[in-house]
Amino acid sequence: MNQTSERVTRAFDSWADRYDEDMRKSQYFSPEWIARHVYDLDGVPECRVLDLGCGTGINVKALCDLRTGIRADGIDVSTKMLEHARACNRYETLCTHDLNSRLPDIHSETFDLVIAFGFLELLADVGTCLSECRRVLRVGGTLWASFRRFEGGDDRSPPRQISLGGVTLIGYSADEILNMMSHLELRVTAFDTVVGYITEMGFPCPFYVLSASKTQ
């Protein structure tokens, strides 16, 4: 693990016990977004899910509340976050891994849904992670991914990079994200601009959230 990932791990290890409560207070986008997009999985009675940067398991818990047949695996760099994910009893397997590197021991074309929420902004190498998302999706499978919004031409946009407690967060423009999807040959079926969360100072932090399918 490089120094950056060690800082990220320390930050999330120390946040783990308060994370769910903080997300509730900050009106974190994902439970509501998932409720609006769960129909993407219609026609998949048994749905194999890979939850990347799974944290405490908020996203898989939301999915399991909405439908049956979810069989989820989770990956995260923070062992403390994984302890909470394990305690929620919604995952078949959970493992520790730095998502700046390729996924270990996961066969190609295994999952119906890959969730990449709330961590792509923390990666030094987002391209490697997204290409691994594509690799492990089955043909017909779905990627749900969130990105911090950065638009250079918009005076009100947050900056490209910010540093919070020694951790760097990187934003992407809609064009950059759509180019990445096109390069990966993933077909974008939804592209939403949402308030990712509201900071303690009351700033509504903008995110892009997409659904994309692997058609070939």
Tokens of residue 27, six digits: 């009106």
Phi, psi of 68, rounded to the nearest 5 degrees: -95, 175
User: What does DSSP say about strands 70-76 and 204-214: parallel, antiparallel, or unpaired?
Assistant: unpaired
Please state the closest distance from residue 120 (CB atom) to ligand SAM, in A.
9
Q: Is 128 strand, coil or helix?
A: helix
Stretch that binds ligand SAM, among 47-55, 87-95, 155-163, 201-209 (CB under 6 A): 47-55
Q: Which of 41, 54, 103, 205 binds ligand SAM (CB under 6 A)?
A: 54
Q: Is 98 in the site for ligand SAM (CB under 6 A)?
A: yes
Per-residue mark of binding to ligand SAM, 6-45 (x: CB under 6 A) = --x---x-----------------x---------------
Give the nearer residue to ligand SAM in terms of CB position, either 150 or 207.
207
Collapsing DSSP to helix, strand or coil, 102 comes out as coil
Dihedral over Cα of 19, 21, 26, 31: its sign: positive
CB of residue 9 to ligand SAM, shortest distance in Å: 6
Instruction: Give the DSSP per-residue string, 17-43.
Output: GGHHHHHHHTT-SHHHHHHHHGGGGTT
Q: Does 113 bind ligand SAM (CB under 6 A)?
A: no
Is residue 119 part of the contact set for ligand SAM (CB under 6 A)? yes
Assign 72 to helix, strand or coil.
strand
Mark residues 184-213: x for contact with ligand SAM by CB under 6 A, - for none: ------------------------------
Give the Cα separation of 28 and 198 in Å (integer): 8
Q: Considering only CA atoms, which of 64, 48, 186, 45 is closest in space to residue 109?
A: 48
Residue from 44, 47, 60, 123 binding ligand SAM (CB under 6 A): 123
Whether 206 and 196 have beta carbons less than 8 Å apart is answered as yes
Within residues 126-145, the interface with ligand SAM by CB under 6 A covers none
Candidates 38-46, 96-104, 175-183, 208-216 — which segment interacts with ligand SAM by CB under 6 A?
96-104
Integer Cα distance of 9 and 167 in angstroms: 10
Pairwise CA distance, residues 194 & 97, whole Å: 28
Using CB under 6 A as the criterion, which residues of the chain lie in contact with ligand SAM when the complex forms?
Answer: 5, 8, 12, 30, 53-55, 58-59, 76-78, 81, 98-100, 117-119, 122-123
